[in-house]
Amino acid sequence: MKAALTRIGLLLGLVIQLSACEPGGELAPSPPDEPPPPAKAESALTSAAADDLFPEALGENMVCMRANPQPDEDGVLTDCLQCPNCMLCFWDIVHVNMTTGKEAILETVEALLSSPKLSGDRAYWLSFDGDDRVITIQNLTTGKRTVFKPDSEQWTNYVPTLHGDWLYWAGYTMPMYQNGLLRANIVNGSTQFLFSATFRDIDYSQGGQLERMAKKQPIAITDDGVYWVTTKGPGRSIRRWRFDTKKETTLVQKSGVEMFALAAGDGFIAWKERTNGNCYSKGPCDIAILGYVFGAGAVDLTPSKAKVSRYGNLSIAGDLVFWADYREGPYAIFGRDVFHLSTSELRYTSQTAVIGSWTSPTVTGFQLVWMDGRDESWNIFSRPL
C-alpha cells in the first residue's frame, strides 16, 4: 500500500507548489467526524489497467483521458504520468454511457493538450495537429466529427468552451492587438471578437505537468452571458458580459480569487478564494468557497470545518456545489446546498475512496463522478446523489 500512496502523491506530479497546510495527496488515515457513505454506493465506471484521468460527466455521458504509452526502439514504455506530452505518450479519449455501461474510445491522440469536455451530447478536446492547435468535436449520438482550427492570428491559450454552436476562448487577436474573448461558430466558421480582457495564460511549453491538461478556462458561460476572472486593475475581479446588452460589469473585486475554479449554476456562480496567507509560499493558506447569487449578492459557502483543496475545480449540479476537501486527513469529496446554508454539508465519498489533491469532482443530475486511485491505477468511479 505504501507504494500506492507514493504513486498517488508523486507519480501524478500533483505535489507542485503545495502549501504547508495542504497534503499533496498523502493519505494518512484519520477518522471522519461523521460516518462517510458506504463504499457499496460507489462503483467503477472504468477498470482499465492504464490510468484514466480527469473525467467530465453530463447527462448519461462521461468522458476522460486514458494513458496509452507507445514503446520506444528498446520496447520501453513512456511514463505518461510523468511526461504527458512526450512524443511516445498517446492518450485515448474514452466515452462511457453511464446508463448502459458501454465504453468506447473516440480517438487516440498523439499530442493531447487538454482533458476532454462535454457540451450537450458532444465531446470536445484540444490537441496539436502538426504545429497547429485544433479542437475536435464529436457528437456522441450521431458520431459526426468536426475539427476546428482557429485562425493563426487568433491565439488559443486554453481548451475553448463549447456552448450551443459557438466555441469560446480566451486568447489574443493579432489584427486588433488585443487580448480578449473570441468565439467561432462551428456551423458556418464565422469568428467574432466579443470584448477585450486580460486572462492568465496556461503555459503548455513545459511537459510533465498534468494539471495544465485538467484546468479549464477562467470563464463560465450561460445562456445570458460570460463570467470570467481577470487580473486587470487592482487585485482580481469577477466580471460579467451580457449577450443582450453587450455590456460588462464587475460583480466581485478581491485579491484572493482563484483563477481556474469559476463555475456557473442556475441563478448563481461560485468560485474559490484565498482568505489567509500565500498559497504559493511555504506558509499555510486558507481557501474559501464563495458564491454570487443573482439578486442577492455575494455569499460565503464555506463550511466551518472545511479544508478546501486549492487545486481541483468546483462542480455544480442544480443547487449543489461539490469540492475536494482534506479536513479528515485523506481527501474526500464534499457538497452543500447553495440556497440552504443552514443545512450541513455532506461527505459523498467513502473511506475506501482514494482521492488526489488535483481531483475535481464532476456531477450530473443523478451521479457524482471522480477519478479514484484505490485499485493501484487511476480509474473513474461514481455514486448516485
Distances (CA, A) of 210 to 139, 159, 214: 26, 14, 7
All residues at 6 or more sequence positions from 195 whose CB lies less than 8 Å from its CB, including other chains: 180, 181, 241, 246, 248
All residues at 6 or more sequence positions from 6 whose CB lies less than 8 Å from its CB, including other chains: none
Extract the C-alpha cell encoding 248: 460588462
Identify the CA nearest to 56 among candidates 328, 340, 333, 315. 315
Instruction: Please report which confidence band the pLDDT of residue 333 belongs to, taking 50, 70 and 90 as the band edges.
Output: very high
| Mean pLDDT, range 80-96, rounded to an integer | 92
Number of independent structural domains in the chain: 1
User: Residues 341-352: pLDDT tens digits?
Assistant: 777 688 899 988
Distances (CA, A) of 162 to 122, 168, 177, 259: 9, 6, 24, 19
Cα separation, 222 vs 243, whole angstroms: 10
Q: Find the helix or strand (DSSP H, E) in which 363 lies.
A: strand 362-363
Cα separation, 282 vs 4, whole angstroms: 26
Residue 56: predicted pLDDT: 95
DSSP string, 69-91: E-B-TTSPBP-TTT-TTSTTEEE
| Mean pLDDT, range 247-254, rounded to an integer | 88
DSSP 115: -
CB atoms within 10 A of CB 282: 8
CATH number (domain holding residue 108): 2.120.10.30
What's the chain's average pLDDT? 80
Residue 115: predicted pLDDT: 92
Instruction: Please report which confidence band the pLDDT of residue 297 belongs to, taking 50, 70 and 90 as the band edges.
Output: confident
Distance of alpha carbon 149 from the chain centroid: 23
User: Residues 203-244: pLDDT tens digits?
Assistant: 444 444 677 787 777 788 999 999 988 776 666 888 899 999
Q: Is the pLDDT of residue 18 over 50?
A: no
> Residue 295 burial by CB count (10 A; 0-12/13-18/19+): exposed, middle or buried?
exposed
Residue 152: predicted pLDDT: 56
Which range of residues forms the domain containing residue 37?
Answer: 2-384
Cα separation, 170 vs 155, whole angstroms: 8
C-alpha count within 13 angstroms, C-beta hemisphere, residue 289: 32
Q: Which residue has the higher pLDDT, 176 or 227?
A: 227
pTM of the model: 0.85
Residue 209: predicted pLDDT: 66
User: Residues 100-150: pLDDT tens digits?
Assistant: 999 999 999 999 988 999 999 999 999 988 888 889 999 999 999 999 887
Amino acid at 67: A
Q: Is the pLDDT of residue 184 over 50?
A: yes
Strand order across the beta sheet in which 132-139 lies? 117-119, 122-129, 132-139, 145-148
Instruction: Please report which confidence band the pLDDT of residue 68 belongs to, taking 50, 70 and 90 as the band edges.
Output: very high
Extract the C-alpha cell encoding 270: 461560485
